[in-house]
Structure 1
Amino acid sequence: MNRRPEHLTEREEQILAVVRRWIAEHGEGPSVREIADAVGMKSTSSVAYHLGNLEGELGALVRDGHGWRTCRLAR
């Protein structure tokens, strides 16, 4: 399945908005826990799943290192 960034789910849009805002305010990406808190999710595993989609098949995020704090917007 070839999904492109304009086909984000509502949750992916929420997560991407949090990442965008956090990077603008703090200069680095948020942690998975910080994202979960911001979008009202309890499961960090679910947040990591959505982040993986945003990074992988959607190409909206890029990580420069191992953790999500190193992520940046692909566009």
Structure 2
Amino acid sequence: MNRRPEHLTQREEEILRCIRQWIEDKGEGPSMRQLAHAVGMRSTASAAYHLANLERSGALIRDGRGWNTCRLGH
């Protein structure tokens, strides 16, 4: 079972659930645009902000440059 830091926002938890489901369904993480659309954001900049926070907290780890190479941390 993955443990998440207690300080994640509700939106960040929603993003992690979306990423987890996307990886299970498609074998890789969503692009930033796909993620923003999936969680109802109009701006990819908002998605980038939340993804950077998740990466800093260790809840998300990027294996490459793009977010579709991410994996869940902890």
The two structures have a TM-score, normalised by structure 2, of 0.90
Aligned twin of 2:24 = 24
Aligned twin of 1:6 = 6
Secondary structure in structure 2 of the residue aligned to 1:55: helix
Aligned twin of 1:65 = 64
**Segments ≥4 residues shifted beyond 4 Å:** none
Q: What per-residue deviation string (whole Å, max 9, x for no partner) do you get for residues 16-46 of structure 1?
A: 1100100111110101111111111001001
The two structures have a TM-score, normalised by structure 1, of 0.89
Aligned twin of 1:74 = 73
Q: Which runs of 5+ in 1 are unaligned?
A: none
Q: Offset of 1:6 from its aligned partner?
A: 2.2
Q: Offset of 1:5 from its aligned partner?
A: 1.7
Q: What are the residue-to-residue correspondences of 1:32-71 with 2, within 5 Å?
A: 32-56=32-56, 58-71=57-70
Secondary structure in structure 2 of the residue aligned to 1:41: coil
Partners of 1:74 and 1:40 lie apart in 2 by: 23
Q: Which runs of 5+ in 2 are unaligned?
A: none
Task: Give the root-mean-square deviation of aligned CA atoms.
Answer: 1.1
